[in-house]
Structure 1
């Protein structure tokens, strides 16, 4: 059994994309569905687990936005999404905390929904603030978009990979 220091407090999947479109509000009798869209950059699928804190969110944002996972052109050298510069789409993904038990999935490791919502909002805000203060992303008019926490969402992705990484924090 792992000790408390090695048990992840958050799980993230980062995927390189050429474009992505996420439905953030389903259609209703009165309104059409609402979407957010990004161009070339990364998609961050995000799940907070028990024990996650605001301090962890700061560490995650710094690490994810700085890691060199995006292919630059024309040489294909790996750069961070800030150096690309590229867009970011953040997708809440509670299912990343699941574990199998027999033929079923269980989510006992996930943080409580209200705590997860607060940390997700903080994560999105910190990413947006980082983009606003980064010269390359600001100059290139790149942005951070995000999904709606706690709702089922429809996602369409165009990727030149897939180039996908799982990160535990």
Structure 2
């Protein structure tokens, strides 16, 4: 699994002009499910992301986690994170998990994350407009295979 995490002041997602998920201070997660991902990949990310000390304390040092600040998470499925751009100019998505399996893993990720912090989501496989007020900017890329 690949997760792009962004510290945000706020973030929301629209589908067909309607806001379907919205958060205040917290983390926006763009989540890509890769072929071969399992519950172990979910576990690695869920055990890492809410506890990353990427929020500033009273002296401006990144010393607080999402849990510490009682922040929220907006999770957006994004199969393009599994895209391969090595050959030619058109991305290949051969590494992206098959949609029904990807949705199953995405839903499990959302469920497990929501047991730790408040979670909002987009709509799996929908065309979405994601509005991200990146705070910092602070952005990290996590690959569950590297944790």
Gaps of 5+ in 2: none
Q: Post-superposition shift, 1:159?
A: 2.1
Give the TM-score of the pair, scaled to structure 2. Answer: 0.90
Alignment partner for residue 59 of structure 1, among 44, 50, 72?
Answer: 44
* Secondary structure class of the residue paired with 1:105: coil
**Structure 1 CA distance, aligned partners of 2:5 and 2:19?**
24
Partner of 2:79: 94
Alignment partner for residue 21 of structure 1, among 12, 18, 36?
Answer: 12
The structure with the greater share of residues assigned to strand is: 2
**Structure 2 CA distance, aligned partners of 1:161 and 1:19?**
12
- The count of aligned residue pairs is 142
What are the equivalent positions in structure 2 for 1:43-58 lying under 5 Å apart?
43-58=28-43
Root mean square deviation, CA, Å? 1.3
CA deviations over 1:63-90 (Å, ceiling 9, x no partner): 1111112223x22232211112211111
Q: Post-superposition shift, 1:26?
A: 1.4
Gaps of 5+ in 1: 1-9, 28-32, 132-142
Partner of 1:156: 131
Structure 1 range deviating more: 80-89 or 116-125: 80-89
**Structure 1 CA distance, aligned partners of 2:91 and 2:52?**
31
Give the TM-score of the pair, scaled to structure 1. Answer: 0.79
Alignment partner for residue 110 of structure 2, among 99, 124, 144?
Answer: 124
Partner of 1:167: 142
**Structure 2 CA distance, aligned partners of 1:161 and 1:130?**
24
Runs ≥4 in structure 1, deviation > 4 angstroms? none
Alignment partner for residue 68 of structure 1, among 19, 28, 53?
Answer: 53
Relative CO higher for 1 or 2, CA cutoff 8 Å, sep ≥ 6?
Answer: 2
